[in-house]
């Protein structure tokens, strides 16, 4: 089946003041010459317009090609683009088209993606909660919300306790962060994993001080403790701490992921299917990690199509640690987009068996929420901040 059309579609909640990356999705619809339709998802962040336009450009390299030939199509675009391994926009556009291609192939063969990848090794995917700590500032805020998460059935949760600190952290910041982590640990007990998010914003010395202060609370991992590109700082961190490092959401190629694994810089790899190269590249990265005894916890923070395909690939990942999950903290329309077919129950998601990405897409809702790509406002809170946690510090 040859690809006839690749359409980028921006979806935005119609609620006033909601034009943020969290309330925006970039969906990619691929249509073949015989009318088969598949869906993928690209990453918005603050680059909605550039990603939207990149999809249109990358589409030129896919239209007219056989949709089933995902390997050939990826490498042909890799050859044509020249900067694919250095361009987030091109990488996420390519990933979205690739995911949609796999969706079509699954529908053509009447099989979910997990069957196309060798079959599932688990019927339910274990997940951890993220997005739960909106408006938390005090230790009491974090503890109260953490208890609610555990009551929902989650056995692992992730959070950023560092407030507005960037690059460095002082004693005041260390004390505040420790008080929040301590409050969460005491609230959830020792049998719930707590995962510490740094958002890749500290220098090595500050990150090491954080690790030494928080290691007594037995975190499951420390995510992006230093700036993503700071390889020297990461080596310094690994040599001076015993805590496990998780990273990978900003990786955009197989070879980049391989470097961090081979250098021993990561214990839990977090590739994102919507920017590392879709299913085609992710399946290779999983095996590289498995061969090196590195566990995988897919980054999964954007929308319900990304979530659906991440569940499919998690089902075949033998070395899976946990899958990130925002589902219970999505705006309702993101759940409605897939008819709420991937609910979380007792810290797990049942692997859907529908062909392709495993879920049905609410095309009527797509038309209702379709919007023009516009620049997002650069707010006081960076795009990665869980709503409200930055502003209330009075920065």
Give the residue numbers marked as catalytic.
199, 299
Query: Residue 243: CB partners within 8 Å, gap ≥ 6?
Result: 211, 214, 215, 219, 221, 222
Structure tokens that stand for 235 in this block: 């080596």
DSSP single-letter state for residue 167: B
Burial of 49 (0-12, 13-18, 19+ CB in 10 A): middle
Q: Which neighbouring-strand residues pair with 11?
A: 25, 370
Q: Is 213 exposed, middle or buried (0-12, 13-18, 19+ CB in 10 A)?
A: middle
Question: Are 274 and 44 within 8 A, CB to CB?
Answer: no
Q: Which of 106, 123, 107 is nearest to 115 (CA)?
A: 106
Whole-angstrom distance, CA of residue 59 vs CA of residue 183: 49
**Alpha-carbon torsion (256, 261, 265, 268), positive or negative:** positive
User: If you search the block for the tokens 């900003």, which residue do you land on?
Assistant: 250
Strand order in the sheet with 370-371: 37-42, 24-32, 3-12, 370-371
Q: How crowded is residue 133: how many other Cβ atoms within 10 Å of its Cβ?
A: 26
């Amino acid at each position: 089946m040859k690809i006839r059309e690749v359409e980028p579609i921006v979806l935005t909640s119609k609620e006033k003041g909601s034009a943020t990356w969290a309330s925006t999705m970039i969906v990619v619809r691929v249509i073949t010459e015989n009318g088969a339709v598949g869906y993928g998802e690209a990453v918005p962040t603050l680059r909605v317009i550039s990603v939207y336009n990149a999809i249109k450009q990358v589409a030129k390299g896919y239209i007219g090609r056989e949709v089933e030939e995902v390997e050939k199509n990826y490498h042909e675009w890799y050859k044509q683009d020249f900067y694919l391994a250095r361009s987030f926009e091109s990488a996420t556009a390519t990933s979205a088209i690739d995911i949609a291609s796999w969706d079509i192939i699954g529908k053509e063969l009447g099989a979910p993606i997990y069957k196309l990848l060798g079959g599932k090794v688990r019927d339910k995917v274990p997940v951890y909660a993220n997005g739960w700590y909106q408006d938390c500032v005090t230790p009491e805020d974090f503890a109260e919300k953490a208890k609610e998460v555990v009551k929902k059935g989650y056995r692992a949760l992730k959070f950023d306790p560092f407030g507005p600190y960037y690059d460095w952290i002082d004693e005041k910041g260390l004390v505040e962060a420790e008080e929040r982590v301590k409050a969460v640990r005491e609230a959830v007990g020792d049998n719930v994993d707590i995962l510490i998010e740094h958002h890749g914003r500290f220098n090595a010395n500050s990150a090491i001080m954080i690790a030494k202060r928080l290691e007594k609370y037995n975190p499951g991992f420390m995510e992006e403790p230093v700036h993503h590109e700071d390889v020297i700082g990461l080596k310094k961190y690994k040599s001076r701490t015993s805590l496990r490092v998780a990273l990978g959401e900003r990786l955009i190629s197989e070879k980049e992921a391989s470097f961090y694994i081979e250098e021993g810089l990561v214990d839990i790899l977090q590739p994102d299917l919507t920017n590392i190269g879709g299913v085609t590249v992710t399946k290779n990265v999983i095996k590289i990690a498995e061969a090196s005894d590195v566990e995988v916890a897919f980054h999964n923070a954007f929308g319900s199509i990304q979530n659906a395909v991440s569940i499919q690939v998690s089902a075949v990942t033998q070395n899976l640690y946990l899958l990130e999950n925002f589902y219970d903290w999505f705006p309702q329309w993101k759940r409605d987009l897939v008819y709420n077919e991937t609910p979380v129950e007792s810290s797990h998601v049942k692997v859907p068996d529908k062909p392709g990405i495993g879920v049905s897409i609410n095309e009527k809702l797509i038309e209702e929420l379709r919007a023009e790509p516009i620049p997002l406002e650069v707010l006081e809170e960076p795009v990665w901040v869980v709503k409200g946690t930055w502003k209330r510090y009075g920065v």
